[in-house]
Amino acid sequence: MIVAVTGGKGGVGKSTVSVELGAALDATVVDADLGMADLPTGPGPDLHDVLAGRADPVEAVREGCGPVRLLPCGRSLAGARAADVTALDATLRDVGAAYGDLVVDCPAGLKADAGVPLAVADACVVVASPRRYALADAVRSRELARELDAGLVAAVINRVVDGAPEPTFEEALGAPAVTVPADPRVGRTLESFRPVVRAAPSTRAAESLRAVADAIRRAKRV
Amino acid sequence: MTAAAGVALVSVTLDNDTAADLRVRVENDLDGPALPPRREGVPAAGWDGDRFTGVVPADGRLGVGYACPIGAADVASARAADQPASVEILGPVDDATGDASASDPVAAAVRSLGRATPPIDAIPAETAAEPEPPVSRTEPHRRREPTPPTAPETSNPVAAWLDAVERRVQLAEQLTDAAADEAAAAIEDSGGIDDVATLPAELGGDVGALRSIGGRIDDLAARAAAADPEPVVSSLVAAADGEEPTERDAKPESDAPPPHGPTAGRGVDRGSPR
């Protein structure tokens, strides 16, 4: 199963939620943010090389370098320019065939680099911030996902401080909304590359993220 | 069909006077590849290689067009051919076959949403192949006048190779997203379709070679800028023969042969991904 983690805005926590869900589902995380990747990378081929036809998709997956298997993305503009987003379909299917479930961290925006992962994915999770304007972005992302046939499993309202309008989100999006409370440990997930679902499993943030993972598992069985 | 400068432009209009939507297949019969219209670099919906499959609506019409490079000599014979393309009716539309444009959601997404690749002008030339920070930042860096950016001592084979690459890149730029008549003119200028056939492969090799060499040049330029042998050399020369330092010693690195072997393992060369 391929799950796309999307959301119109940048900085709402798509990459963090991707890593957390990857850890909770024991899935392989693919950093598909071709222009502005932020998951850890290192020496070796990355998604830019794969999409430019310079590397094999399965060989670019990092195993044992952290808590989750990761297909990282390069950082250079030249790499982003050389990468052919239409090759993402075959890439994700190859990696999925080798490693099973995938969580794809999508870029912000509504261009093809955000749309192609949704077109390939079986389902998607929309991440939003608990601000008033965030609902409109979440609705736009949901519309794009619907157009491209990626069913919305859940909306994650991320970094909630004092109560989020869950019913409003659920009514507007037609999918369950899950609130992830603001927790500095979640904020450090990318920096330290230690997802809270492993490092602090009893926190409320980890419980919420596991609830999203459970919703994905249920969607997979259907 | 119209033909000019070695390129045939084929247009097919299909009329359906029945009361049912009909699926049709249009296949290129000319001696050359069919070049379908593209949006965002992706062929228009329904195209698969040399073939177009689409639906003519009931009591309606469907237009299909494509270009085909046939070579200037073949224009007359192509004009004489009364059937540049063959049309096959595949039968009425049923739900099982569906709409051809929905068959590839990825291509449809790229066509409708548009690619988000950064423009080439946004890519700094000196870092085009170089994601790591400049090496000089981590090294002790003596203050000194920057080396002039011009390289008059570039030897002839290097200049000739770069000129050849430049010609290929120029031609490739002319052919990128070119309309049929522009492409035909560019191909004619460059000596015919046979010379152009190998262009994509050569260009791919050029990209790899340029990035690999660019990384090495950056590395050498940074090392050359960081090295400062002038005080030592001039004092040695002065001590050896009691003369004042000559001008030749001011820029010894430009006369030095290029060093062979590993380039100090700074991970600069990104020509090969593995």
Does B110 reach chain A within 8 Å, measured CB to CB? yes
**Is residue B180's pLDDT more than 50?**
yes
pLDDT > 70: percent of chain B:
69
Give the β-pairing of A102-105 and A28-31: parallel
Q: Are A3 and A124 in contact (CB under 8 A)?
A: yes
**Is residue A145's pLDDT more than 70?**
yes
Q: Are B91 and A34 in contact (CB under 8 A)?
A: no
Confidence at residue A88, expressed as pLDDT on a 0 to 100 scale = 95
Q: How far apart are CA A1 and CA A9, in angstroms?
A: 25
Higher-confidence residue of B48 and A195: namely: A195
Tell me the one-letter amino acid at A152.
Answer: L
Please report residues of A whose CB lies closer than 8 A to that of B122.
77
**Is residue A19's pLDDT more than 60?**
yes
Q: How far apart are CA B24 and CA B85, in angstroms?
A: 13
Q: Residue A28: in which H helix or E strand, if any?
A: strand A28-31
Confidence at residue A200, expressed as pLDDT on a 0 to 100 scale = 93
Rounded to an integer, the average pLDDT of B6-22 is 85
Cβ distance B114 to A112 less than 8 Å, yes or no, reads yes
Give the angle subtended at the CA of A66 by the CAs of A27 and A178, to the nearest 5°: 50
Residues 6+ apart with CB under 8 A from B28: B10, B34, B50, B51, B66, B68, B84, B85
Q: How far apart are CA B37 and CA B10, in angstroms?
A: 11
Confidence at residue B143, expressed as pLDDT on a 0 to 100 scale = 42
Rounded to an integer, the average pLDDT of A197-204 is 94
Residue B209 to residues A78, B123, B162, B214, Cα–Cα distance (Å): 15, 18, 11, 8
Confidence at residue B102, expressed as pLDDT on a 0 to 100 scale = 52
Higher-confidence residue of B236 and A128: namely: A128
Tokens read off for B185: 């003119």
Considering only alpha carbons, which residue of chain A is nearest residue B133?
A76
How many C-beta atoms lie closer than 10 Å to residue A185's C-beta?
15
Confidence at residue A83, expressed as pLDDT on a 0 to 100 scale = 92
Does A35 reach chain B within 8 Å, measured CB to CB? yes
Rounded to an integer, the average pLDDT of B53-74 is 83
Rounded to an integer, the average pLDDT of A109-129 is 93
Please report residues of A whose CB lies closer than 8 A to that of B42.
86
Strands (DSSP E) found in B131-233 = none
Closest Cα partner for A206 from A40, A21, A14? A21
Q: Are A215 and A175 in contact (CB under 8 A)?
A: no
Beta bridge partners of B3: B8
List the single best residue of B42, B103, B117 to mutate versus A (max A Cβ within 10 A): B117
Q: How far apart are CA B11 and CA B199, in angstroms?
A: 28
**Is residue B194's pLDDT more than 80?**
no
The chain-wide mean pLDDT, for chain A, equals 92
Q: Residue B54: in which H helix or E strand, if any?
A: strand B51-56
Higher-confidence residue of B154 and A132: namely: A132
Cβ distance A119 to B105 less than 8 Å, yes or no, reads yes
Q: Are B6 and B12 in contact (CB under 8 A)?
A: no
Q: Are B45 and B108 in contact (CB under 8 A)?
A: yes
- ipTM of the assembly? 0.84
Tokens read off for B70: 């046939």
Give the angle subtended at the CA of B258 by the CAs of B253 and B264, to the nearest 5°: 95
Q: Are A196 and A157 in contact (CB under 8 A)?
A: no
Q: How far apart are CA B69 and CA B170, in angstroms?
A: 20
Q: What are phi and psi of A91, to 5 degrees?
A: -60, -50
Residues 6+ apart with CB under 8 A from A218: none
Cβ distance A112 to B113 less than 8 Å, yes or no, reads yes
Higher-confidence residue of B80 and B161: namely: B161
The chain-wide mean pLDDT, for chain B, equals 73
Does B29 reach chain A within 8 Å, measured CB to CB? no
pLDDT digits (tens, 9 = 90+) for B102-147: 568 888 888 888 888 888 888 877 554 444 443 333 344 444 444 4
Does A47 reach chain B within 8 Å, measured CB to CB? no
Tokens read off for B3: 């033909």
